[in-house]
Amino acid sequence: MRQGLTRLTFTQFIITLSLLTVIHTAQALEFKAQKVTNGVYAYTGPLTDRTPENLGLNNNIGFIDTQAGWVLIDSGAGDAAAKKLHEIAKNIKDQPIAAVINIGSQDHRWLGNDYFSKLGAKIYAHQKTVKTQSSMFNQLLDRLVSKVPALKGTHKKTADIVLSENSNTLTIGGVEMQLNFYGDAHFPGDSALWLPKQQVLFTGDSVYVDRMLGVHPWSNTITWNEAYQKMRALPAKFIVPGHGQVSDWEKVDADTGRYLAKLISTLTEAAENMEGVGSAVDANRDWPEFKHLEHYDSWHPQNLNRTYLRIESGL
């Protein structure tokens, strides 16, 4: 009898644990936007990698309410992700998607363009962003589909309206905005969207909050740091980073600005002293002020390595 009760209790425990796991997963994967300020909303993705469950939406996406309909800041990682963003927009206000503005070239910033274009949305982007999108499409899609199979079959669709100035003023549905290019960063052609009246800045992948920024072989931390300093001059009250919570400059400086500045100053000195990449990485593995950032242990050594090599190549 006691053994039967023990088995029953254990079975109940497993069932309860399974139900809690399902509930937790459902809550964790809830797709919704938060209000940033009047007429401006943001979906903030998880700090984890792309998964089949999050549809590659582990980044942040903007929603601007205009008289013409929604203006989306980036379009998600393919049709399935774009459909989810469309649902988010409808849940806030059921109106057409008037435009999509791409502020980056990474997969989850623009591979949903085709979906929204078929709905009648005009796609905007800076010419440097479009150049990177076009050259990296196959590479990005192959990597994305290996992680999120539901995004297979995504078609390439770049901007209908390509902008070329470093600062481009647009008015869509009565809302003034600026698409600004400050310099190559996480990807070549990364840009930012500034709403001067609302004092909202969508930084794209030039800013990471709560998680460690990533330096890829094609990233340029020298120009990234310079771009950040230019962007920093904006009187933004609300900053929607590429990843992480909506923040202010104090938080953004702590998680991105000071990290970029330290990378450049520390590794420039190391390269000028010909310390060698291995020694430079080993000497700088422990930066305690940034250890709170998600993925610090995996990304920080790579960031040191690639930044040193880029600086060294320019000496």
Number of domains in the chain: 1
Question: Is 302 a member of any domain?
Answer: no
Q: Give per-residue pLDDT as tens, 183-220.
A: 999 999 999 999 999 999 999 999 999 999 999 999 99
The segments of the chain whose pLDDT lies below 50 read 1-2, 4-8, 10-11, 13-27
Please report where in the chains the tokens 């242990």 appear, as a residue.
297
φ/ψ of residue 284, rounded to 5:
-125, 20
Question: Is 1 a member of any domain?
Answer: no
Among candidate residues 90, 33, 41, the one with its CA nearest the CA of residue 200: 41
Question: Is 3 a member of any domain?
Answer: no
> Range of 98's domain?
32-248
Distance between CA atoms of residues 53 and 289, nearest Å: 32
Distance between CA atoms of residues 240 and 234, nearest Å: 13
Question: Is 183 a member of any domain?
Answer: yes
Question: Is 17 a member of any domain?
Answer: no
Question: Is 81 a member of any domain?
Answer: yes
Q: What is the pLDDT of residue 23?
A: 38
Q: What is the pLDDT of residue 30?
A: 81
Question: Is 299 a member of any domain?
Answer: no
SS3 114: helix
Question: Is 106 a member of any domain?
Answer: yes
Q: What is the pLDDT of residue 12?
A: 52
Distance between CA atoms of residues 45 and 72, nearest Å: 15
Q: What is the pLDDT of residue 25?
A: 42
CATH number at residue 131: 3.60.15.10
Q: Show Cβ contacts of residue 8 under 8 Å, excluding neighbours closer than 6 positions.
A: none
Radius of gyration of the chain, Cα coordinates, nearest whole angstrom: 21
